[in-house]
Amino acid sequence: MKLASLALIATLCAAPLAHAQDMTFFVTSAGKGNGADLGGLDGADAHCNALAKAAGSKHANWKAYLSTSPTPGAQGQPGVNARERIGKGPWRNAKGVVVARSVADLHSAKVNINKETALDEKGQPIKGRGEQPNEHDILTGSDPQGMYSTAGGDTTCGNWTKSAEGSAIVGHHDRSGLNDFWHSKQWNSSHGSRGCSQDNLKASGGAGLLYCFVPVAAKAPAKAK
């Protein structure tokens, strides 16, 4: 009986680690601490990878779901679309729940990102609207289709290098906002932040959190025999 009990305890303790290893999507449990200054895309990716590694992930190629705006001038760079950074899917959270099977599903009504599924790297929920502190504003810099915004103005806090003036587009991981308008329910594109500092992000319901994805390739369908 003792041996059976010990085996059961060992199995239960190993389960979270097994899920963490298979996880290909999470919301960061914490921001980098300097508002929307993430050190650019490289710094954001490094943050995703560090948190995933600490949680027991077997993957080392995590990408932050972030877009960047084109920069003008002779040395300017083209914009980057978040949807093109994350592979083809499918993606699973730390509990093994599929949040999207493809890029098309991720940016459609089929997406399964909500308060119950948008878990952090440890499988814990992120505080949303109605909780203290509300942290449902997730940095993306993207429009609803995962592209960089062409609305004008700063939508990426200087391509994730500013922690003072500016603004960044955020999504609501809990699909809830101040009203019932469609954009309040967008996981990746709800509104612009009040600013780029940590205090300004907190003031509007955020904490500088990110969505992180592994760019896994979709499995080819099995051939008929």
Q: Is residue 220 part of a domain?
A: no
CA distance 99 to 120: 13
Segments in the chain below pLDDT 50: 1, 3-18, 218, 220-221, 224-225
CATH (domain of 124): 3.10.100.10
CB 143 within 8 Å of CB 135: no
Give the per-residue pLDDT at 72.
81
CA distance 27 to 35: 16
Provide the greatest CA pair distance for the chain. Answer: 74
pLDDT (tens digit, 9 = 90+) per residue, 90-110? 999 999 999 999 999 999 999
Give CA separation, 145 vs 26, 63, 188, in Å: 19, 17, 8
Domain tally for the chain?
1
This model's pTM is above 0.85: yes
Q: Is residue 17 part of a domain?
A: no
CA distance 202 to 194: 9
Q: Is residue 65 part of a domain?
A: yes
Domain that holds residue 198: 22-213
Q: Is residue 14 part of a domain?
A: no
